[in-house]
Copies of this chain bind each other. A is one copy, B any other.
Amino acid sequence: MRILPRSIEKLINEFAKLPGIGPKSASRLTFYLYKLPDSQIEVFAEAVKQLKSNVYACSNCYNMSDQPLCDICADKSKNHNLICVVEDPLDVMAIAQTGKFPGVYHVLGGTISPIDGIGPEQLKIAELHTRVKKLLDDGKPVEVIIATNPSLEGDATSIYISKLLKPLGTKLTKLARGIPVGGDLEYTDELTLTDALNYRKEI
C-alpha cells in the first residue's frame, strides 16, 4: 500500500541519497519544500538543473570559475609567486575567507588515493610543476604552500608534490599543525599533540 504520493516519495528518496541526510531528514526537507509556494520550488529545481552551467576550471589554477581565468588569478594585486596548493574549491574558499592570504591557489582536484584508483596523473600535479617551473624560469622567487588535508591521502599527496618540486629549487612549505583554537589539551589526540610540540614556536 502506498501511503505517500509517488512524487513525494521520489523526492524523499532523492534527498536521502545525499550525504548526511537520513530518511527522517529527507521527509522533513521534502515536506518543507512542499509547503513552499510553487515559484520557490521552481527556483530550487532550476538551481539544481543549472548547477554545472557556466562553470569552468580556471586555466591557471584549476579552481571553479565563471570565466576561463578565475577572479583570483586575474587579480593583479595578488602575489602570484605565492601559490597555495589545495585539494578542492571549498578549500580555496576556506582560505580566502580568512582574508589573510595574499597569494594565489592551485586546485589539485583531489588527493592521490590508489584505493580509489586516483593516481598523480588524475590530479593537476603536472600542471603545478609546469606552472612553478615557468615562474622560476622567469627568475622569480616562488613559494609553494602545500595545504592538503591532514589525512593519510593528503599527506601522501603532499610528499609526492614536495619530491616533484624540490629539484626545481622552489621554496616549499606546508600548513602548521597543532591544537586548534578553542581546543582542549586534555582531549587532544596524541598525533596532534606531537605535531603541536614539533611545530612549537619561540615567544
- Give the B-binding residues of A (Cβ under 8 A): 1-8, 10-11, 13-14, 18-21, 25, 27-34, 38, 41-56, 63-66, 71-72, 75, 88-90, 92-93, 96
A83 to chain B, nearest CB (A): 16
A50 to B30, CA, bound (A): 12
State how many copies of this chain the complex holds: 2
| 19 A-B pairs whose Cβ atoms sit less than 8 Å apart in the complex | A1-B71, A1-B75, A1-B96, A2-B71, A5-B66, A6-B54, A7-B47, A7-B52, A7-B53, A7-B55, A11-B47, A18-B29, A20-B29, A28-B90, A30-B51, A34-B51, A34-B55, A41-B48, A45-B49
Whether A4 and B64, one on each chain, are in contact in the complex, defined by CB atoms closer than 8 angstroms, is: yes
Residues from chain B with Cβ under 8 Å of A19 in the complex: 28-29, 32
Which residue in B21, B27, B38, B63 is a CB contact (below 8 Å) of A90? Answer: B27
Residues from chain B with Cβ under 8 Å of A75 in the complex: 1
